[in-house]
């Protein structure tokens, strides 16, 4: 591969990553919407937001379906962060459903 071809390929791959990132953002927001719905239901049922056993199941499932090249510990770290943010939106939704004021939005 010559330099010109390499530059073209680099641009193509970066564009492909941008498209994948767009899908990831859409999926993360869909996951957050489900977490909000779960927060509403937990509020009605008076259930705790944090359920350690469920989080263990989610992490184990993410590691099980991982086909690489990310290693299991990398997938675990990514999903731990996703779960943290999902728990945050779930908590906000549950607190609104319980009649309290919505939590302040965190700066990103």
Q: What is the DSSP string of 26-49?
A: HHHHHHHHHHHHHHHHHHHHT--S
* Chain segment 67-85, per-residue pLDDT in tens: 999 999 999 999 999 999 9
Kindly state whether residue 107 falls inside one of the protein's structural domains: no
Residue 31 predicted with pLDDT over 80: yes
Handedness of CA 9, 75, 66, 25 (dihedral sign): negative
What percentage of the chain reaches a pLDDT higher than 70?
89
Q: What is the CATH number of the domain that holds 73?
A: 1.20.59.10
What is the 8-class DSSP label of residue 51?
-
> Rounded to two decimals, what is the model's pTM?
0.82
Distance, in Å, from the CA atom of 86 to the CA atom of 22, rounded to the nearest integer, reads 19
The two three-digit tokens of residue 50, written as one number: 């944090």
Q: Domain span at residue 35?
A: 3-97
Question: How large is the average pLDDT for residues 45-64?
Answer: 97
Kindly state whether residue 74 falls inside one of the protein's structural domains: yes
pLDDT reported for residue 102: 42
């Amino acid at each position: 591969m010559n330099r010109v071809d390499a530059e073209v390929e680099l641009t193509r791959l970066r564009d492909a990553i941008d498209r994948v990132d767009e899908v990831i953002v859409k999926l993360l927001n869909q996951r957050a919407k489900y977490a909000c719905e779960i927060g509403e239901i937990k509020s009605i049922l008076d259930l705790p937001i944090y359920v350690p056993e469920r989080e263990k199941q989610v992490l184990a499932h993410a590691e099980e379906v991982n086909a690489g090249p990310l290693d299991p510990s990398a997938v675990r770290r990514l999903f731990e962060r996703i779960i943290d943010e999902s728990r945050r939106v779930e908590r906000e939704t549950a607190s609104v459903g319980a009649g309290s004021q919505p939590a302040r939005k965190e700066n990103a």
